[in-house]
């Protein structure tokens, strides 16, 4: 058979895949015990399995197994809008569309706003599944620096000036950012809104972790600073607060673009998984979400403390790390002699030692941060966290001895 060049679409060269997502299959294929600091998965204990079982038994029926409305199951929309009414992001039925997880929200945002060659600002480091989504629509990514207060918004005008054109979209994770764990300061939120208005750019406000603050005070959300703002495209998910396997999230957008959101979703998957939506809506309707959030925030506060303490004790000044007030992730940078260790190379050594993390370059649109790595403190219990950090320390020693 002669090899012929398949008639690929131009976008294929920008379908980069995800090191983060691929780690799930990679770890599943390993025969030995591995402490999992890699994926951003909730703790098993944080998934309300018994309640889900009882809801499945009592609530799911034939309606669960037919097509649902694209905008979402009416009961879920009702329960969600009602729940959000008690948060800093009250909303209305005209604004919300249920999605198949946060990833679909990002896809919808890019499908609606990003043309080939459009400029899209992304944080550095960032959640590369998000930047890759923009890239899959052939955006030109403009990486912007971050510090302990999130995206350095003050740096954007100069970056944009140098690029010679304004961005179509700005992709930002404002709370307990993935991967750095940092939170965008209030003045920077205001400045980002000002710039978006000046440039007529959409803010893709990706916030899966905002309801998981376990220390410090809430900061005003973009929505509260700029209510009913058509330039705000807010992407939310139940993946971190309930369970990622449900694949249920939502987007909150101006009613004027909701029809487009629905049309775009109809060319993707018709509707989000109906049994999952019914599980979530019944969970909220039974009043479980507030107590659940209180309980899992306490769990994650403890785990973050345990991981931080263990890293200090086992690695001391060989590393620097961020100090998140919520969410799932610590961002660790190698220091001193260890800074010469590639975290990409360290990954294989660590895997053999029985611990997994995400190397820094997998969290950068241009593959930077080879001296850094992301650790998820949410998944493992305190004993396993200690074990995993000790394995990581051993892996670093081995990497150093090999140099
Ligand atoms: N955005 C960010 C910042 C995330 O961390 C994640 C999940 N890791 C997502 C979006 C995607 O969420 P989902 O799993 O619901 O698709």
The pLDDT value given to residue 3: 64
- Which of 129, 113, 304 shows the shortest CA–CA distance to 204? 113
The answer to which of 21-35, 38-52, 201-215, 338-352 has the lowest mean pLDDT is 21-35
Same domain, 340 and 249: no
Predicted confidence band of residue 5 (pLDDT cuts 50, 70, 90): confident
Share of the chain above pLDDT 70, in %: 99
Based on the structure, what is the number of domains in the chain?
Answer: 2
d(CA 223, CA 211): 14
- Which of 84, 89, 80 shows the shortest CA–CA distance to 220? 89
Q: Which residues contact 190 (CB under 8 A, 6 or more apart)?
A: 225
Same domain, 313 and 202: no
Give the tens place of pLDDT for each residue, 257-275.
999 999 999 999 999 999 9
Beta bridge partners of 319: 334
Q: Are 35 and 388 in contact (CB under 8 A)?
A: yes
Predicted confidence band of residue 143 (pLDDT cuts 50, 70, 90): very high
Same domain, 116 and 134: yes
Unique residue bearing structure tokens 């969290």? 363
Whether pLDDT at 292 is above 80: yes
Same domain, 306 and 280: no
Q: What is the average pLDDT across 185-205? A: 98
User: Could you tell me if residue 5 is inside a domain?
Assistant: no
Closest residue to atom 12 of ligand 1, CA basis = 102
- Ligand 1: residue of 134, 175, 178, 180 to mutate (most ligand atoms within 8 A of CB) is 178
As a whole number, the mean pLDDT across the chain is 96
Whether pLDDT at 307 is above 70: yes
- Say how many Å lie between the CA of residue 243 and the centre of ligand 1: 11
The pLDDT value given to residue 4: 76
Same domain, 262 and 295: no
d(CA 55, CA 59): 5
Which residues have any ligand 1 atom within 6 Å of their CB? 40, 101-103, 127, 130, 173, 178, 206, 208, 237, 239, 244, 249
Q: Is 163 helix (H, G, I), strand (E, B) or coil?
A: helix
Q: Which residues contact 137 (CB under 8 A, 6 or more apart)?
A: 11, 110, 111, 114, 115, 116, 118
Which CATH number fits the domain that encloses residue 75? 3.40.640.10
- Say how many Å lie between the CA of residue 84 and the centre of ligand 1: 19
Whether pLDDT at 10 is above 80: yes
Same domain, 21 and 84: no
Q: Which of 288, 306, 336 is the last residue of a domain?
A: 288
Whether pLDDT at 86 is above 70: yes
Q: Which of 250, 265, 288 is the last residue of a domain?
A: 288
Same domain, 281 and 333: no
The pLDDT value given to residue 270: 97
Closest residue to atom 8 of ligand 1, CA basis = 40
Backbone angles phi, psi at 181, to 5 degrees: 80, 0
Same domain, 138 and 161: yes
- Ligand 1: residue of 41, 103, 374 to mutate (most ligand atoms within 8 A of CB) is 103
The answer to which of 25-29, 100-104, 105-109, 388-392 has the lowest mean pLDDT is 25-29
Laid out side by side, the sheet with 372-376 consists of: 319-321, 329-334, 372-376, 358-359
Same domain, 280 and 303: no
User: Could you tell me if residue 35 is inside a domain?
Assistant: yes
- Ligand 1: residue of 107, 126, 127 to mutate (most ligand atoms within 8 A of CB) is 127
- Say how many Å lie between the CA of residue 27 and the centre of ligand 1: 19
d(CA 297, CA 396): 31
The pLDDT value given to residue 304: 98
Domain that holds residue 362: 10-47+290-402
- Say how many Å lie between the CA of residue 378 and the centre of ligand 1: 14
d(CA 222, CA 158): 23
- Say how many Å lie between the CA of residue 36 and the centre of ligand 1: 17
Backbone angles phi, psi at 204, to 5 degrees: -85, 100
User: Could you tell me if residue 330 is inside a domain?
Assistant: yes
- Which of 125, 99, 128, 201 shows the shortest CA–CA distance to 160? 201
Predicted confidence band of residue 102 (pLDDT cuts 50, 70, 90): very high
Same domain, 264 and 309: no
The pLDDT value given to residue 278: 98
Q: Which of 235, 266, 288 is the last residue of a domain?
A: 288
Atom index in ligand 1 nearest the CA of residue 207 equals 3
User: Could you tell me if residue 59 is inside a domain?
Assistant: no
Same domain, 337 and 227: no
- Say how many Å lie between the CA of residue 102 and the centre of ligand 1: 5
Laid out side by side, the sheet with 150-151 consists of: 96-99, 249-252, 232-237, 202-206, 169-172, 119-124, 140-147, 150-151
The neighbour count for residue 75, using CB atoms within 10 Å, is: 17
User: Could you tell me if residue 237 is inside a domain?
Assistant: yes
CA distances from 351 to 28, 30, 191, 239, 395 (A): 12, 9, 42, 26, 9
Classify strands 372-376 and 329-334 as parallel, antiparallel or unpaired: antiparallel
Unique residue bearing structure tokens 């008690």? 86
User: Could you tell me if residue 53 is inside a domain?
Assistant: no
Q: Are 216 and 325 in contact (CB under 8 A)?
A: yes
The pLDDT value given to residue 2: 61
Same domain, 158 and 263: yes
User: Could you tell me if residue 89 is inside a domain?
Assistant: yes
Q: What is the average pLDDT across 264-291? A: 96
Which CATH number fits the domain that encloses residue 294? 3.90.1150.10
Predicted confidence band of residue 337 (pLDDT cuts 50, 70, 90): very high
Whether pLDDT at 1 is above 70: no
User: Could you tell me if residue 61 is inside a domain?
Assistant: no
């Amino acid at each position: 058979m002669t090899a012929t060049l398949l008639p690929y679409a131009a976008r294929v060269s920008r379908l980069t895949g995800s090191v983060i997502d691929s780690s799930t299959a990679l770890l599943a294929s390993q025969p030995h015990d591995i402490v999992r600091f890699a994926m951003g998965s909730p703790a098993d204990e944080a998934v309300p399995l018994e309640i889900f079982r009882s809801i499945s038994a009592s609530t799911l029926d034939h309606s669960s197994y037919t097509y649902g409305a694209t905008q979402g199951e009416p009961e879920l929309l009702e329960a969600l809008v009602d729940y959000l009414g008690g948060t800093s992001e009250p909303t209305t039925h005209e604004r919300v569309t249920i999605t198949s997880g946060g990833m679909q929200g990002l896809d919808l945002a890019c499908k609606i706003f990003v043309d080939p060659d459009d400029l899209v600002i992304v944080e550095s480091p960032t959640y590369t599944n998000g930047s890759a989504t923009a890239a899959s629509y052939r955006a030109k990514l403009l990486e912007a620096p971050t510090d302990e207060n999130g995206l350095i918004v003050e740096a954007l005008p100069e970056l944009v000036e140098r690029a010679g054109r304004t961005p179509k979209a700005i992709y930002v994770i404002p709370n307990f950012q993935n991967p750095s764990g940092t939170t965008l300061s209030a003045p920077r939120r205001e400045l980002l809104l000002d710039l978006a208005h000046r440039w007529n750019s959409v803010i893709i406000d990706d916030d899966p972790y905002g309801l998981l603050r376990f220390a410090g005070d809430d900061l005003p959300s973009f929505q509260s600073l700029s209510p009913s703002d058509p330039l705000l495209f807010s992407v939310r998910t139940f993946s971190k607060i309930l369970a990622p396997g449900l694949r249920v999230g939502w987007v909150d957008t101006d009613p004027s673009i909701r029809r487009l959101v629905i049309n775009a979703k109809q060319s993707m998957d018709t509707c989000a998984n109906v049994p999952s939506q019914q599980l979530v809506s019944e969970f909220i309707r039974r009043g479980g979400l507030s107590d659940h959030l209180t309980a899992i925030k306490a769990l994650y506060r403890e785990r973050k403390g345990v991981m931080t303490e263990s890293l200090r004790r086992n690695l001391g000044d060989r590393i620097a790390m961020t100090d998140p007030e919520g969410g799932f992730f610590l961002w660790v940078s190698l220091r001193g002699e260890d800074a010469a260790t590639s975290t990409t190379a360290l990954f294989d050594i660590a895997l053999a030692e029985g611990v997994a993390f995400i190397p820094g370059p997998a969290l950068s649109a241009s593959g930077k941060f080879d001296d850094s790595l992301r650790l998820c403190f949410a998944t493992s219990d305190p004993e396993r966290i200690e074990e995993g950090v000790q394995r990581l320390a051993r892996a670093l020693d081995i990497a150093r001895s090999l140099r």
